[in-house]
Structure 1
Amino acid sequence: MYNINNILRENIKNLTPYSSARDEYQGEASVFLDANENAFGSPLNQQFNRYPDPLQYQLKKRITEIKGVPPRNIFVGNGSDEAIDILFRSFCNPGVDNVIIVPPTYGMYQVSANINDVEARKVLLTEDYQLNLEGIAEAIDEHTKLIFICSPNNPTGNSINRADVETLLANFNGLVIVDEAYINFSRQKTFIQELTEYANLVVLQTLSKAWGLAGLRVGMAFASEEIIEVMNKVKPPYNVNEASQQLALEALSNIDQINSWIKETLTQRDRLVLELKNFDFVLDIYPSDANFILVKTTDANKIYNYLVSKGIIIRNRSKVELCEGCLRITVGTPDENTTLLQTLQNFK
């Protein structure tokens, strides 16, 4: 049975987190002489001379209003990548423990495993890009701490079968991390709704995709209060800067704009699928719940290089396991998609 104390690293259990000036005093005052900041201000139109809120309270409050999850169940990080790294550092003993990844999938899970000296056991997805539950069960041992599942998956674009994920959550004694970076474009509902059912569930989301804030680096993790407490203990004290917090808060008030962009993205995704099918070098286009499509071609390298020569950059995924001959194409604006399609008409 899952118990956080059975998978948490001993040094993290005993860790005394850094106590910042903003942790020790969080109220209102007229004179702050506690944090060795520059009291004169910033050489900018906005003032950034004060350290940001280490726990991003105002931002979490707004996220709560949108997601329906209490602030105590939310971690905000410097992109979702920080949350991934913190999970490794909190739960995986270097050189001892292992995690399971299910390629083809987001490459940062493997990179974080390598950085933290943690074995990443690969269990390939099936031919239709779903979980191989039997293979995962065989790969798990007493040192398996985390299972990473990207849904909708990158680079394949499809959502992972919900019942299969729930099977893992119900039977695995470690953490199951469901990375929902592309959930805003999906027909599948978020796993955030299952947080009260599964104590070992961690859901990752981001403001980089549908919300259009990739340059601000703001990611979120949703989990039980005890998991969030661990992540807050391990993170750097001021991990999300003040500019990102302020701008993210402002962006989160523009839901109507985001919903409009999502709707247009889905329309353009359907358009790309429909028109790309007409090219004889396109062998298959895989179903997508994301803001990109995976296209199997006769010669991915040649097509990729041709588009680069025309100033159009897509992603060549032909060397990725189970994605041989494939190109990943992000859904662009109507004009960008027109340029892509017109350029491909001249490909020989």
Structure 2
Amino acid sequence: MKPLNQLIRPNIKNLKPYSSARDEYTGEAAVFLDANENPFNQPYNRYPDPYQRKVKQKISEFKSVSDTNIFLGNGSDEPIDLLFRAFCEPGIDNVVSIDPTYGMYQVAADINNVEVRRVLLTDEFELDVEGLLRACDDNTKLLFICSPNNPTGNCFRKVDILDLLRRFDGIVVLDEAYIDFAPEKSLLSKLSDYSNLVILQTFSKAWGMAGIRLGMAFASSDIVEVLSNIKYPYNINVLTQEKALELLDNESNKQYWVSQLLAERDNMQVALADLSFVAKVYPSDANYLLIKVNEPKAVYDFLVSKQIIIRDRSSVSLCEGCLRVTIGQPAENSLLLEALTMFEK
């Protein structure tokens, strides 16, 4: 990896971060008259902890990662955007991404006026390591890998990801949003071995809390400091922090939900493969299945007419004719299968 100060945008390196009232004083007090808050409607009249210390401490214990290596964002989309803003000079630098993959990498790049160089996966949906490295040049700052990948659903070989971490001299962003559903383990244990590794995880999937908008980024303390310096001061609200603490005290719920979804995924894989118009059901390490069908638009429109919404991915690279089906509760999955059986007839 290049030295971090060579990767950071010069204006970000020289930035003087905003200092809030809660930066200047942290602790208990009898009277708070420092932040121009309304003194009524406690406790929600107070600004939230800008560094989410209690939540980070809980996550630190749960993930066996130091709290200095944790950045919390408004969903994973916030750290994705901040990585562009911290490391990519608009109109000059570029990033490399796999194709197909999660669409927000491209959107964040477009918003920040940064070129994205997309490298196709292999026909087996695996990483083209040499192709990814060939796409890089001296101005490539970030390399995005989503594993399990959206929409293909598969985990990439760990050996390939580690190879990229060793050979790419910029920052590798590994998005593990769906890792709780995968047989593969997270690469969090490798965080201290690779100073150029940023791992994204989320409360939206396995934790069942997409509505609270809380994403986690794990990285070296130096990278976390850079992101913390440029985020908005109070990016995680009080209600989200409270709910996250509540969730982390009830991990058994998450484990139960994951086990139920994995069982349903196995059932759905068999049932979908039995439908005559389904050409292929791809293996999945996530909470969804990618299926290839003969008439994707017709299937999608028919399901919409039955008020069942899935995702049409037929226009995505390597996914021609494909639909993406999220695994729901048993009753929801049954309704989907009933509708697809009707379409088949």
Range into which the TM-score falls when normalised by the shorter chain = over 0.9
Is 1:219 the equivalent of 2:204? no
Distance 2:195 2:2 in 1: 8
Deviations 1:132-191 (A, max 9, x none): 112112111000000000000000100011111111100111000000000000011101
Superposed, 1:227-306 pairs within 5 Å as 227-306=223-302
Distance 1:220 1:136 in 2: 25
Distance 1:322 1:296 in 2: 11
Report what 1:22 is aligned to. Answer: 22
Report the AA paired with residue 344 of structure 1. L
Unmatched tracts of structure 2, length 5 or more: none
TM-score by length of 2: 0.99
Report what 2:40 is aligned to. Answer: 40
Report what 1:133 is aligned to. Answer: 129
Pairwise CA distance, 1:227: 0.4
Deviations 1:243-270 (A, max 9, x none): 0000111011111111011001000000
Distance 2:47 2:281 in 1: 48
Count of residues in Structure 1 that have an aligned counterpart in Structure 2 = 344
Distance 2:58 2:79 in 1: 19
* 47, 52, 56: which one aligns with 1:51: 47
Distance 1:141 1:345 in 2: 51
Deviations 1:21-76 (A, max 9, x none): 0000001101000000111226xxxx311000000000001001110001100000
Pairwise CA distance, 1:312: 0.4
Superposed, 1:318-333 pairs within 5 Å as 318-333=314-329
Deviations 1:284-324 (A, max 9, x none): 11110000000000011000000000010000000111100
Q: CA RMSD in A?
A: 0.8
Superposed, 1:91-240 pairs within 5 Å as 91-240=87-236
Question: Is the contact between residue 2 and residue 172 of structure 1 (CA under 8 Å) also seen in structure 2?
Answer: no
Pairwise CA distance, 1:334: 0.6
Distance 2:157 2:332 in 1: 32
Unmatched tracts of structure 1, length 5 or more: none
Question: Is the contact between residue 96 and residue 143 of structure 1 (CA under 8 Å) also seen in structure 2?
Answer: yes
Pairwise CA distance, 1:12: 0.8
User: Runs ≥4 in structure 1, deviation > 2 angstroms?
Assistant: none
Report what 1:82 is aligned to. Answer: 78
Question: Is the contact between residue 17 and residue 234 of structure 1 (CA under 8 Å) also seen in structure 2?
Answer: yes
Report what 1:4 is aligned to. Answer: 4
Pairwise CA distance, 1:2: 2.7
Report the AA paired with residue 22 of structure 1. R
Report the AA paired with residue 24 of structure 1. E
